[in-house]
Chain A
Amino acid sequence: MKEPVYEVFARKSREEPLRHIGWVNASDGDLARVYAWKTYDEQNWAEMCVIPRAAILPVDPDESQFVTAAKSESEDEIVHSRGTGSYGGADVAVKEGR
């Protein structure tokens, strides 16, 4: 099962611009929001947003850290590595290639 990537943006106060702080894998927006909030909790964020990576359109794709939907197949292999095997065994049968 391949999960989409959601990029995480946050700011500590309303005056600050949102900045990119990381990413999470999640099957939907609900889980992406929870994972982002629970994973990147080192700061007392005033605002946090998650954005599907596929929704980001880099103006210059060659210079972008974000991977567009057009490149997603090759990127999937890199970013969709799963923790299941290395986190004490799987309770859930996770199927590749949903």
Chain B
Amino acid sequence: MTETLPAAAYESADALPEDVRQPLRDLILALADSKRVLGLRYSDRMLGSPTLEAGIAASSMAQDEWGHARLTYALLGDLGDDPKALEHERGAAEYRSISALDADLRGWSGMIAAALLVDMALTAQYAALVDSRYAPVRNRVQKLLDEEKFHFQYAAGWARQISQGPELRGELAAELARVLPQALRWLGRDDAPGMERLVQEGIVRDQPSARRARFLARVGPVLEEIGAAEQLGVTRDGAEWTYTGALDWSGWDDATRRAGGSLDEETAARARGDKNRALLMD
């Protein structure tokens, strides 16, 4: 059965209420930057993967992420930005990518923790835009979500595989523990400036707390299956999943979705495409 979406109320950013433009722009930029850096981190794992198939899939996922980043940056053109400048002209400190990706992924366990928790947190946020009343966003998200189903299967499959052997089980648990609070926090605060308005206007489906719950409902069963949920503070009550830990919001900037720190310059240079800047086309 095909779900009928409500008619998009806002065909372009010009039609958006003034007070939602900035929070929407902040949200889209945080998504685009996170996707771009996630693609880079995946691409570092294309070689040296445990199996040929895993490497091919990591390579394809890196391409997916860069495609998602490109279409997400392109959305910012409608909101008054120059997407090309955003992609190619910013310093590391200006990147709003999720803090869990500031450093290289730690081994294959780090790759899988990022795929399961970072990629799926981003996906939970995109899912809240799939029926957006802002047409440019709504029209681009479904294909992305379809591709992310494979990323989830990949992450879940590898989490299971790693957890079946003693060699890397502890390392994976440590990476999951490091990344989970950052992924949960990245989904934001309900009382962030403009957040309630985005929901009221139907541009974003629901509040960050609801997105966190959906994210946990997706990854929770995997964490439970590999025996990591309890240690991570992820518990279930029927179909509802909860994080029992306390998220640290000190220094949190709702606009950038970061609490200090920065992407390193070398990664930013790769994200910008500095190496082949001379060949950059208009």
Contact = CB atoms under 8 A, between A and B. Distances in A.
Given A91-B49, A95-B167, A31 B55 contact: no
Given A39-B56, A92-B108, A30 B51 contact: no
Interface string B100-121: 0000000110000000000000
B146 to A, nearest CB: 11
Q: Which of B49, B55, B107 has the most CB of A within 10 A?
A: B49
B158 interface: yes
A3 to B, nearest CB: 7
| Band of interface residues on A | 20 to 34
B190 to A, nearest CB: 33
Interface in A41-98: 41, 82-84, 87-95, 98
Interface in B128-169: 150, 153-154, 156-158, 160-162, 164-165, 167-168
A92 B58 CA distance: 15
Contacts of A33: 150, 153
A3 B160 CA distance: 14
Contact of B57 (A25, A34, A90, A91): A34
B282 to A, nearest CB: 31
A28 B163 CA distance: 13
Contacts of A91: 45, 48-50, 107-108
B218 to A, nearest CB: 14
Given A33-B153, A92-B168, A94-B50, 20 more contacts: A27-B161, A30-B156, A30-B160, A31-B161, A33-B150, A34-B150, A34-B153, A35-B53, A35-B57, A37-B150, A38-B61, A41-B60, A83-B49, A83-B51, A83-B55, A88-B48, A92-B50, A92-B162, A92-B167, A93-B168
